Amino acid sequence: MKKKSSLFVLILLVFPVIVVVFLHNFGVNRFDIPVFHEKYTEELPECVKNRDFPIKITKSDVGFIPDSDSLKIVLIADLENSQSIDKLQGLRLCSKIEGKPISVLTIYSETPVELSCGRTHKMEREQLEEVSSCLFLIPKGNNTVLLDGKGRIRGYYNCNDREETDRLAIEIDILIQNNEYERGD
């Protein structure tokens, strides 16, 4: 009886070690962030009908986008269908992305939002509304878009919401881990 119980205890102790070693050597823990707007759908506005898909946003589309190999966060202030960027949440975002290969651009029409981690660009309200709905395709309630190194849209966020800012920071880390911040063809 003692021999059986010691064999049973040995199996109970060895089995978890075998599982951990197996998962460590053969398991892959990788997350992917989807690419938005890979194909044209009827839900998209009419102004994007003639664009190439998947949608890629580059410096040639709009001159004020940073031309770099990094990820890009574009914050849109003064939208009618969304709250403007809260300064405190903007500072929180800057602290979360500090030291990462990412460019931040804030676009506004009336109320400038100066963030320590990026630059700003001013435009007329009508142009701002057109850029947000036809270029970045920002849905109602959101004010931020994440672009990868290839200019593809990887996410929409409301950076006035703490949870959305945290989600943005996590998705940036995932893209960096997957080396999707680098420009490529």
Q: Tell me the per-residue pLDDT of 9-52, one tens digit each, with 9 for 90 and over.
A: 888 889 999 988 888 888 777 788 889 888 888 778 888 877 87
Q: Are 30 and 178 in contact (CB under 8 A)?
A: yes
Tell me how far apart the alpha carbons of residues 108 and 128 are, in angstroms, rounded to a whole number: 7
Query: What does the pLDDT average to over 135-162?
Result: 87
Higher-pLDDT residue of 64 and 90 is: 90
* Alpha helices (H) in the chain, listed in sequence order: 2-26, 87-97, 125-130, 162-177
Residue 30 confidence (pLDDT) = 77
| C-beta atoms surrounding 88 within 10 Å | 10
Q: Where are the domains of the chain?
A: 46-177
**pTM of the entire predicted model:** 0.76
pLDDT band at 156 (very low <50, low <70, confident <90, very high): very high
Maximum average pLDDT range among 14-18, 38-42, 67-71, 181-185: 14-18
Query: What is the per-residue pLDDT across 111-148, written as a single tens digit (0 to 9) for each?
Result: 777 777 878 888 888 888 888 888 888 888 888 899 88
Q: What pLDDT score was predicted for residue 185?
A: 47
Percent of the chain with pLDDT over 90: 4
Say which residues have a Cβ less than 8 Å from residue 176's Cβ, sequence separation at least 6. Answer: 71, 100, 101
Q: Which of 154, 158, 161, 157 is nearest to 175 (CA)?
A: 154
Range of 60-74, 92-106, 138-152 with top mean pLDDT: 138-152
pLDDT at 86 over 90: no
The fold for domain 46-177 equals Glutaredoxin (3.40.30)
